[in-house]
Chains A and B, each alone.
Chain A
Amino acid sequence: MMRYTLTRIGSVIPTVLGAATVAFLLLRLIPGDPARISAGPTATPEQVEHLRVQLGLDRPWWEQYLDFMKNLFTGSLGTSTRSGNSVAAEIGTRLPFTIQLAFWAMLIAIVVGCALGIVGALYRGRAIDFIFSAVSVIGVSAPVFWIGLMMIVLFSVKLGWFPASGAATPASVVLPAVALSLFAIGFISRQTRSAMIDALSMDAVRTARAKGMSGVNVIGKQALRNALVPVITVVGLQFGQMLGGSILTESVFGWPGIGQLLVNSINNRDYPVVQGVVFVVAVLLILVNLATDLLYSAIDPRVRHGN
């Protein structure tokens, strides 16, 4: 177990370095002169040169790269060309909001998605299974930015139940979290359903029934635990989807997370911030994938015994 954990943790390092390299390359991929574009159309040649030095674009590329990586190790992601603040600080103030939003959305998605999937599997082929399957495919097909706006019209404007925008009150998180959860609900519920159907047909489930175990035991303990492994995989995958979707959700609901920071920075051509957000999100996702794999091995003993 210990060895598996350590090897798995070790395997994260090259991926993080790769993600950092991609973030570094972003600025260098800009067609034309990045400093010129970043400074905006009204900038004077002096301002452009100043920015070029600030971004380090006046030096050879390998020196820029080494600097970039060295700064990462000290926790520095550079300086915003717009506000002059450190990128790390800007992200630091925004990140908790995004994590809060993703947490609630994921919680809703796991609870609702698993419930729909389990019920669908238990009542396979019946009307309720058909309805839940329809809900799930609608969930993965409806764009979050459209559903989000429709929810604002209904729940904020017409009914006045929740705030339409911002993060001022605790209730503010409800609409964005629900909107963001829909896609994951669809995905998790269909995965849960098929994993549960597989698990319910296991010989071990028949053994449990032959032992005289109760229905709750058979479904909850024997089948569900086995169904959890594929479900956890999909939850881990959904987290990446959710971080992507939160960019749009934050934009719809004016939620002050890193998604909004990213979109604003793109509009302001504030490239260091764009780089920083891209890198931080990638690291977040890599860590979630790591956690998923480790959880996996805790649930399925066959994984940790290398079988």
Chain B
Amino acid sequence: MTSLLSVRDLRTAFNGQTVLDGVDFDLHPGKTLGLVGESGSGKSVTALSVMGLLDRNGKVLPGSSIKLEGQELAGLSERGLREVRGKRMAMIFQEPMSSLNPVYTVGDQVAETVRKHLGLSRRASRERAVELLRMVGISAPERRVTEYPHQLSGGMRQRVMIAIAISADPALLIADEPTTALDVTIQGQILALLKELQERLNMAILMITHDLGVVSQIADDVAVMYAGQIIERTEAQRLVGNPAHPYSRGLLASVPRLGMDRNVPLPSIPGSVPSPADWPAGCRFADRCEFATPQCREKPPLLIERWPGHEVACDHPLVDGVPTPEPAREVVS
């Protein structure tokens, strides 16, 4: 299967400080890839690098490759990116509150994209906007188009954002923590909507989230990021069942599940993601890892396919929660 989005050795720097350190992944048409990690892991920067939406201090370094349907986006001019953005790839964000412009009506903001990418007339794009709002499950869309963002609820705003995103029928939708700012019940609705639209429009989704619960609901594959790198990659169900990286296991353990003993506090990973300036020479997770050995701190582990379709960057990958003994690397390779 040819991939829709193919990212190779993506390196991004802010003010000369590398924050993405060689990210590789593929996303296939109509599929969903979950990109998971704590804040500071580099998952949002990855999304913004793909979209070409880094702020003025951020730069995708030469040598990086971002291919969408075979077209190289890394190094493309702003003008060139503009033809791709909104049309072949679209993005929704974490804060539906502030992502919409407060001074224009919802209808204007949807119709604007339609006009730009589909070249419809003012009136036709207006009608199309109503249709799109109906598609994302907004009731009485004829009335809603004349309202302003502050008159809508958070969930409604996110639906409007989705309507904008799908208006030009993009092949790729990047969703950056789309449900984090919403109530739990609304979260489920938005995820269900995304799934429904994905099937209807055959759209691939890159789902950026810190929540493995979201991943297990919506994603086909998952890539776990830590300190600017991908450290584990496999099918979503396999990762949820058999996390091989201690970090992935830690993330999973901190997700509340049905039937858990509520009196036992949720375990959390001690410490936080090291900032790019403090990346250690060896494994970047070693300082927070309960299984770390002195060797872990010396040389960085490589992302290796240890089981079919399951890659992990750890010298002692977990099997059924138990780390494999030293020197795991030589055994496999």
B124 within 8 Å of A by Cβ?
A: no
Q: Work out how many contacts link A and B, with CB atoms closer than 8 A.
A: 77
Decide if B247 is an interface residue (CB 8 Å cutoff): no
A215 at the interface (CB under 8 A from B): yes
In whole angstroms, how far apart are the Cα atoms of A181 and B78 in the complex?
38
Number of B residues whose C-beta is below 8 Å from A?
31
Chain B 55-87 interface 0/1 with A at a Cβ cutoff of 8 Å (1 = within): 100000000000000000000001000111111
**B100 contacts A212, C-beta separation under 8 Å:** no
- Please report the C-alpha to C-alpha distance between residue A201 and residue B87 in the assembled complex, in whole angstroms: 23
Do B117 and A212 touch (CB < 8 A)? yes
Residue of B whose beta carbon sits closest to that of A125:
B56
Residues of A contacting B55 with CB < 8 Å? Answer: 201
Give the docked Cα–Cα distance between A209 and B87 (Å): 12
How many angstroms between the C-alpha atoms of A299 and B104 in the bound complex? 9
Given contacts A213-B112, A214-B82, A307-B150, contact A204 B102 (CB under 8 A): yes
B268 on the A face (CB < 8 A): no
The smallest beta-carbon distance between B296 and chain A, in angstroms, is 38
> Per a CB cutoff under 8 Å, which of B78, B84, B99, B148 touches A207?
B99
Given contacts A204-B102, A307-B150, A215 and B51 within 8 Å (CB-CB): no
Which of A211, A226, A305 meets B112, CB within 8 Å? A211
**CB-CB contacts below 8 Å: B91-128 with A:** 91, 93, 95, 98-104, 112-113, 116-117
Rounded to whole angstroms, the CA-CA distance of A305 and B152 in the bound complex is: 13
Kindly list chain B residues whose C-beta atoms are within 8 Å of the C-beta of A299. Answer: 103
Proximity bits, B138-151, A CB within 8 Å = 1, else 0: 00000000001011
Q: Decide yes or no whether A301 CB sits under 8 A from chain B.
A: yes
Asked, given contacts A207-B161, A211-B85, whether A301 binds B98 with beta carbons under 8 Å apart, the answer is no
Specify which chain B residues have a CB less than 8 angstroms from the CB of A213 in the assembled complex.
82, 86, 112-113, 116
Kindly identify, within residues 208 to 228 of chain A, every residue whose CB is under 8 Å from any CB belonging to chain B: 208-215, 217, 222, 225-226
B64 to chain A, nearest CB (A): 20
- Asked if A206 CB lies within 8 Å of chain B CBs, one says yes
Say which residue of A202, A203, A206, A302 sits within 8 Å of B150 (CB atoms): A302
B35 proximal to A (CB < 8 A): no
| Contact assessment for A203 and B93 in the assembled complex, using a CB-CB cutoff below 8 Å | yes
Q: When chains A and B are docked, how far (Å) is the Cα of A225 from the Cα of B104? A: 9
Among residues of B, the one whose C-beta sits closest to the C-beta of A201 is B55
Are A209 and B150 in contact, CB atoms less than 8 angstroms apart? Answer: no
Residues of chain B within 8 A (CB-CB) of A63 are none
In whole angstroms, how far apart are the Cα atoms of A225 and B109 in the complex?
Answer: 14
Interface: A300 (CB within 8 A): yes
Bound state CA distance, A279 and B129, in angstroms? Answer: 53
The distance in angstroms between the C-alpha atoms of A208 and B151, with both chains bound, is 20
Q: Are B148 and A305 in contact (CB under 8 A)?
A: yes
Which of A201, A202, A207 is the one whose CB lies under 8 Å from B164? A207
Contact in complex: B82, A206 (CB < 8 Å): no
The count of residues in chain A whose C-beta lies closer than 8 Å to any C-beta of chain B is: 24
- Give A1 Cβ to nearest chain B Cβ, in Å: 12
- List CB contacts (< 8 Å) of A173-226 with chain B: 201-204, 206-215, 217, 222, 225-226
Determine the distance from Cα of A204 to Cα of B164 in the docked complex, in whole angstroms.
Answer: 12
Whether A226 pairs with B116 at a CB distance below 8 angstroms is no
- Cβ-defined contact, A301 with B102, below 8 A: yes
Cβ contacts under 8 Å, B101 to chain A: 202, 204, 207-208, 222, 225-226
In the complex, what residue of chain A is closest to B100 when comparing beta carbons? A204
Q: What is the CB-to-nearest-CB distance from B87 to chain A, in angstroms, rounded to a whole number?
A: 6
Known A211-B113, A212-B84: A204·B98 in contact at CB below 8 Å: yes
For the complex formed, measure the closest distance between the CB of A229 and the CB atoms of chain B, giving whole angstroms.
Answer: 8
Q: Which residues of B contact A300 (CB under 8 A)?
A: 102-103
CB distance from B313 to the nearest CB of A (A): 31
Q: Does B90 contact A (CB under 8 A)?
A: yes
Q: Provide 21 A-B residue pairs closer than 8 Å at the C-beta atoms, listed in order of the A residue.
A: A202-B98, A206-B53, A209-B85, A210-B51, A210-B90, A210-B91, A210-B165, A211-B113, A212-B85, A212-B86, A212-B87, A213-B86, A213-B112, A213-B116, A215-B78, A225-B104, A300-B102, A301-B150, A302-B150, A305-B151, A307-B150
Excluding A211-B85, A300-B102, 5 further A-B contacts by CB distance (< 8 Å) are A207-B93, A211-B116, A212-B87, A215-B78, A222-B101
Q: Residues of B with Cβ closer than 8 Å to A?
A: 51, 53, 55, 78, 82-87, 90-91, 93, 95, 98-104, 112-113, 116-117, 148, 150-151, 161, 164-165
Q: Which 10 pairs between the two chains have the least Cβ-Cβ distance? A: A212-B86, A204-B101, A212-B85, A203-B98, A211-B86, A210-B91, A301-B148, A203-B99, A211-B113, A207-B99
| Chain A residues close to B by CB (< 8 Å) | 201-204, 206-215, 217, 222, 225-226, 299-302, 305, 307
